[in-house]
Structure 1
Amino acid sequence: MSFDIHNIRKDFPILSRKVNGYPLVYLDNAATSQKPQQVIDAIVDYYSNYNANIHRGVHSLSQEATDAYEAARHKIQNHFNAKTACEIIFTAGTTQGINLVANGFASLLNKGDEIIVSALEHHSNIVPWQMLCEKTGAVLRVIPMNEEGTLLMDEYYNLLSDKTKLVFVNHISNALGTINPIEEIIEKAHSVGAAVLIDGAQSCSHIKPNLQELNVDFYVTSAHKMCGPTGVGILYMKEEWGNKLPPYQGGGEMIAEVSFEKTTYAGLPHKFEAGTPNICGGIAFGVAIDYLNAIGFDAIEAHENELLTYATNKLLEIEGLRIYGTGQKTSVISFNIEDLHPYDIGTIVDKLGIAVRTGHHCAQPIMEFYKIPGTVRASFAFYNTLEEVDALVEAVKKAKMMLS
Structure 2
Amino acid sequence: MEVNTTMKNHTYIRHHLHSQNHNHHHAHFPSTTVLITITTVTLVTILFTIFMVIFLLRRQKSSSKDGTCKDKNNRVVHEKSSRLIVSTTLTFTSSPDVKGGCLQGGNLNMTPVPKFRGVQVFTYRELEVATDGFNEANVVGNGGFGLMYRGVLSDGTLAAIKLLSREDKHGERAFRTEVDLLSRLHSPYLVELLGYCADQNHRLLIFEYMPNGTLHHYLHSCKNQTQPLDWWTRMRIALDCARALELLHEHAVSPVIHRDFKSNNVLLDHNFRAKVSDFGLAKMGSEKMNGQVSTRVLGTTGYLAPEYASTGKLTTKSDVYSYGVVLLELLTGRVPVDIKRAPGEHVLVSWAIPRLTNREKVVEMVDPALCGQYSKKDLIQIAAIAAMCIQPEADYRPLMTDVVQSLIPLVRNLSSLRSSSSLRFLRQTPSPSPSH
For Structure 1 versus Structure 2, the TM-score category normalised by the shorter chain is: under 0.3
From the two aligned structures, give the one with the greater strand fraction: 1
From the two aligned structures, give the one with the greater helix fraction: 2
